[in-house]
Structure 1
Amino acid sequence: MTGYPSAEDYIRAVQRPDLVFDRPELAEARFDVHPMLKIPVPASGTTAVVFRATVGGTAQALRFFTREDASTQQRYTALNAWFTERDLTGDVANCRWVDDAILVNGRRWPMVQMEWVDGRTLDRHVEDLVETDDRAALETLAGSWRDLLRRIQAARFAHGDLQHGNVLVDTAGRLRLVDFDSSWITPFTGSPPPSEGGHRNYQPEKRLWGPWMDTFPGLVVYLSLLALAREPNQWEQFNDGENLLFRHRDYLPPHRTQAWSWVERLHDPQIDGLAARLRACCAPGWTATGDLEGLIAEPVPWWTRTAAHPPAGAPPEPGPTTAPPRPRPQPGPRPTGQPMWWQQPTGPQPGPTQPPPTQPAPARAAVAGRVLRAVVTALAWVFGSVLIAGALVSLASSNNTVIAALPALVLALIVLGLVLVVRRRRRRRRQPPGKAP
């Protein structure tokens, strides 16, 4: 068998740890189970599945691969040594490679045994802060994120897949990174890049694997957190479970999506500057050549400025979609005797082409005519109904009065017919042009 086991294969296997593990501490591991299904349910990714288990009395994350090209023992051994060497153990989940760890489908497969970080993913933590409208905590979280990027980039470590699901916020509020299949450190220079290119909602087009590949997603997360700290209620509009604020389509020109429009409407100088830098990073062929701190300190290109805040002395922003602003008419001198705005009567006022609120004489005559016609119609209906009723009574009472009742019946029918003709003509006059009655 050449293919790696599937997530379902691992779920079945870990239900009997005493049979699939040969290491004593793993054979006695207790896996967390689903409260209803009563079976271990992992967190699934594109290259591996992760189970939470108690091993030797300590909660740990056991990561099993579902793809052959995910990672190697050499990579994780080098990473673990680098974290210790560069004092990054407080920023990452400590991990170690375990070769031939589990027996699945008649063959033994490797595993990464990681420290279990008791906390929440970054997006769930942000969601909790948004729901409580804790703007100060969101601002603090943005500062913590920038500090984290400063430390890991100074240590020449690049995670390679910075996104909400790979960042945990522990119970002490510290940010911790997990999942290092795409990571880079100095010893990896010259090695072929991993198959994973990072979450598309956090990466630029054609990202290069190397020491500065975290600069772009670092800016995306930093800008998103600061913007949400200004208006947390926008979270529900822009978050779809696969992002914080921006999506992949937001990085494509002409940058006129709803996310960009909302960021511009904040009218915050700090956010405007960061947004301008992010737009510059979205230019075709752009590649990060330094860390996030250096990018933030760079001058902002004039063409990335928002329409609301152009740089002083810069030429107008080109583009066929940008219409020139219309000149505003300047108010002329106020006529003598015209009351000022605070002297104007309240309520809607008639415009220069609108009739005054007092109803003119022709309108009053039309109303009176409609009332008179309604009264005449009602009387005609009453008179005709009385005549018909009398005629019917006469017919029923005696056969000798049939001839005498017929003129009254005919007269009543004529009156009613005239009334119907008049009403039909009125309806035709009211019918809009071009519409059948």
Structure 2
Amino acid sequence: MSDSAGRSARLPSKTEYAEAVQDLRTAFTDPSLADGVLDLDRRGMPRTSSGRNAVVFRLLGSRGPCAVRCMTRAPADGARRYGALSRYLETHSCPALTPATWVERGVLVSGVWWPVVLMPWVPGDTLDIAVSRRIGDPRALRHLAANWRVAIRQLRRSHIGHGDLQHGNVLVDGDLRLQLVDLDGVWVPGPHEWPRADAGHPDYQHPGQGPELRGVALDSFPASVIFVSILAVAADPALWDLHTQENLVFRAADFARPGRTDIWRRLKKSPDPRVASMARSLAADCSRAAEMASGPEELVAQLSP
């Protein structure tokens, strides 16, 4: 939040942001944004995507297509968090993670400056849409799951924790390549700690997770939830009837009752024995400490030869 906005001020709504960016020259001070072109829909309104914490606008500027992420919910220590990430990525590569820059005086709304996060525009579908479009194509879904393992390995090798792995924060292009976005909960190694932005999406998080969880351990359980979900649907497309706009096939209630809800019973009978085995491991992890949860690599390693 900008100093001019005040710490207790209410963040603008999605509608207020949309009205503000109608005139780019007054909304932005960055010349590459102020002189850009806003992506509009057929009605002439700004084309947006939105999640739990922000609304995103697509601009065509001198630096190419970019995503302008306007917060509807303030991230904890946003300026410091994104600053640490930018510095860390100067010397550490993580291809799966979309770089992002915090701009303190980002967008002017009703006379008040609010911060924005700038990212390169990443084309593609969110993970849930990518999966839904490939129901009945097990080969494509297994390919997607394999690429997910690669993305998680890249995070681990870079010692970065995303902090909120869930379908809405994963973009998939036509070649099934993955990019991770929405970095409000990101964690990078450094001399200073800060609180997590939030606890992450409940339909992906470990039931025993607490605020003390740090580092790559932030992502182990949700990464496995996504990995098992994709492979489970590849083996049994009927499981997609458990999907809602909030999840893939698991819900928070399933993690609270490991092995005792419908999804666990159906996974136990999966046509793919590897899925049944990994589901058992995932259920067991629900009853262990969150920092002990297995990531996709450990789930695969635990499979019988």
Is the Cα contact below 8 Å between 1:153 and 1:291 reproduced in 2?
A: no
Match of 1:121? 126
In structure 2, the partner of 1:192 is: 194
The structure-2 alpha-carbon separation of the partners of 1:297 and 1:34, relative to structure 1 and needing over 3 Å to count, comes to closer
What whole-Å deviation, never above 9, does each CA across 1:202-228 have from its counterpart, x for those lacking one?
001242431111000111111111111
CA shift at 1:254, angstroms?
5.3
Matches within 5 A, 1:60-79: 60-79=66-85
**Which structure carries more relative contact order (alpha carbon 8 Å, separation 6+)?**
2
Q: What is the count of residue pairs matched by the alignment? A: 294
CA contact (8 A) 1:102 1:109 kept: yes
- Residue 57 of structure 1: how far off its partner (Å): 6.2
Once the two structures are superposed, the pairs formed by residues 284-433 of structure 1 within 5 Å of their partners are 286-289=289-292, 292=295, 295-296=298-299
What amino acid is the match of 1:82?
Y
Instruction: Show the counterpart of 1:246.
Output: 250
Q: Please state if 1:85 is matched with 2:87.
A: no
2:281 counterpart residue number: 277
Is the partner of 1:171 in helix, strand or coil?
coil
Distance 1:193 1:291, change over 3 A: farther
1:228-279 deviation line (CA, Å, top 9, x unaligned): 11122431x1111211111111112253222112111125331122111111
Paired-residue identity, %: 35
Pair 1:150 & 2:157 matched: no
Query: In 1, are the aligned partners of 2:39 and 2:46 still within 8 Å (CA)?
Result: yes
**2:229 corresponds to which residue?**
224
Structure 2 unaligned segments of length 5 or more: list them.
Answer: none
Q: Give TM-score, length-normalised by structure 2.
A: 0.88
Tell me if 1:3 matches 2:7: no
The 3 A distance-change label for structure 1 pair 142 and 297 is closer
Residues 155-202 of structure 1 deviation map (CA, whole Å, 9 limit, x = unaligned):
111101101110011233211000110111111x65232331111110
Pick from 90, 98, 110: which aligns with 2:115?
Answer: 110
- Structure 2 CA distance for partners of 1:13 and 1:144, relative to 1, 3 Å: same
Stretches of structure 1 that go unaligned for 5 or more consecutive residues are 301-310, 312-437
Change (3 A) 1:83 1:57: closer
> CA, structure 1 residues 40+273, in 2 after alignment: closer, same or farther (shift >3 Å)?
same
Give the conservation status (yes or no) of the 8 Å contact 2:11–2:72: yes
Equivalent-residue separation in structure 2 for 1:54 and 1:168 (angstroms):
19
Contact 2:282 2:294 in 1 (8 A): no
Q: Computing the radius of gyration over CA atoms, which structure comes out larger, 1 or 2?
A: 1
Matched, 1:255 2:259: yes
8 Å contact from structure 2 (residues 126, 172) kept in 1? yes
Secondary structure of the corresponding residue to residue 126 of structure 1: helix
Describe the superposition over 1:43-99 as per-residue Cα deviations: whole angstroms up to 9, x where unpaired. 2223221111111162110011223444422221221232342211x2122221222
Q: 1:25 is matched with which residue: 27, 32, 43?
A: 32
Q: Is the 8 A contact 2:77 2:194 kept in 1?
A: no
- Normalised by the size of structure 1, how large is the TM-score? 0.63
Letter aligned with residue 70 of structure 2: F
Matching residue within 13, 17, 25 for 2:20: 13
The 1:101–1:56 alpha-carbon spacing in structure 2 relative to 1, beyond 3 Å, is same
CA deviations on 1:92-117 (whole Å, 9 max, x unpaired) are 22221222122112121221110101
**Cα distance, 1:293–1:20 mapped onto 2, change above 3 Å:** closer
Contact preservation (8 Å) 1:47, 1:70: no
**Maintained 8 Å contact 1:150/1:292:** no
2:29 is paired with a residue whose SS is coil
Q: Is the 8 A contact 2:49 2:57 kept in 1?
A: yes
Amino acid at match of 1:205: P
The answer to whether the 8 A contact 1:3-1:67 is kept is no
**Contact in 2 for aligned 1:238/1:244 (Cα 8 Å):** yes
Task: Pick from 65, 68, 71 the counterpart of residue 59 of structure 1.
Answer: 65
**8 Å contact from structure 1 (residues 3, 68) kept in 2:** no
Hey, which of these two has a bigger chunk of helix by percent? Answer: 1
Choose 103-112 or 68-77, whichever is displaced more.
Answer: 68-77
Q: Secondary structure at the match of 1:228?
A: helix
Distance in 2 (alpha carbons) for counterparts of 1:52 and 1:273 = 42
CA contact (8 A) 1:95 1:114 kept: yes
SS in 2 for 1:185: coil
Report the AA paired with residue 207 of structure 2. E
Distance 1:139 1:44 in 2: 28
Residue type at the aligned position of 1:23 = D
Q: Which residue of 2 aligns with 1:203?
A: 205
- Equivalent residue in structure 2 for 1:94, among 61, 74, 99: 99
Deviation by residue 1:302-325 (Cα, 9 ceiling, x = unmatched): xxxxxxxxx9xxxxxxxxxxxxxx
User: Shift of residue 297 of structure 1?
Assistant: 6.3
